[in-house]
Amino acid sequence: MYLISVFGNLLIILAVNSDSHLHTPMYFFLSNLSFVDICFTSTTIPKMLWNIQTQSKVITYEGCITQMYFFVLFAVLDDLLLTVMAYDRFVAICHPLNYMVIMNPWLCGVLVLVSWLLVVSLFYCTSLGVYLGSAGTHSSHSSATASVMYTVVTPMLNPFIYSLRNKDIKRALKAFMGQQF
């Protein structure tokens, strides 16, 4: 599932970057979302796979804090990019004649940039909560199942949901694959 997630999201990034017809705001945001999904899954899944392989659940305190920092960073960034994508679709539907004027490359860059740094400042402010919070632990089978659903399954399905049902992405992927072989 991890490899499907990484490979599917990487294909979206490559397709968007290789096809000039896809150099539009919607696909710019989609390729950024794919990049964030790769980063999101890569913060926890390799360690989880290592733990399964070695039958060990040990993680250092520093490793745990670092993993949690990047996990939440990319989760919030994912949410912000989905919000930006919703705004993009709103403008495309409600103001179709002004779409290219409103969603110009400068605004798209600013929206992605604001999604990023915002997340960084949020985490610098809230990282104190990690050090001041309690160290209580709670583990259950249902918590583990829910964790796998949002850390592995959702990012794996995003390429299928957002792009593989899209004829422009399919065309770009076919062209990209044709160039590679």
pTM above 0.75, yes or no: no
Question: In whole angstroms, what is the distance from residue 71 CA to residue 23 CA?
Answer: 29
* Domains contained in the chain, number: 1
Residue 125 maps to which CATH number? Answer: 1.20.1070.10
Q: What percent of the chain has pLDDT over 70?
A: 73
Tell me the per-residue pLDDT of 85-139, one tens digit each, with 9 for 90 and over: 889 989 999 999 998 899 888 988 888 888 776 665 555 455 444 444 444 444 4
Structure tokens at 151: 């850390």
**Res 164: pLDDT:** 59
Name residues whose C-beta falls within 8 Å of residue 150's C-beta, 6 or more positions apart in sequence. Answer: none
pLDDT tens for 34-43 read: 999 899 889 9
Integer angstrom CA distances of residue 97 from 104, 107, 142: 13, 17, 48
Q: Which residue has the higher pLDDT, 51 or 153?
A: 51
Range of the domain at 28: 2-180
The pLDDT assigned to 117 comes to 67
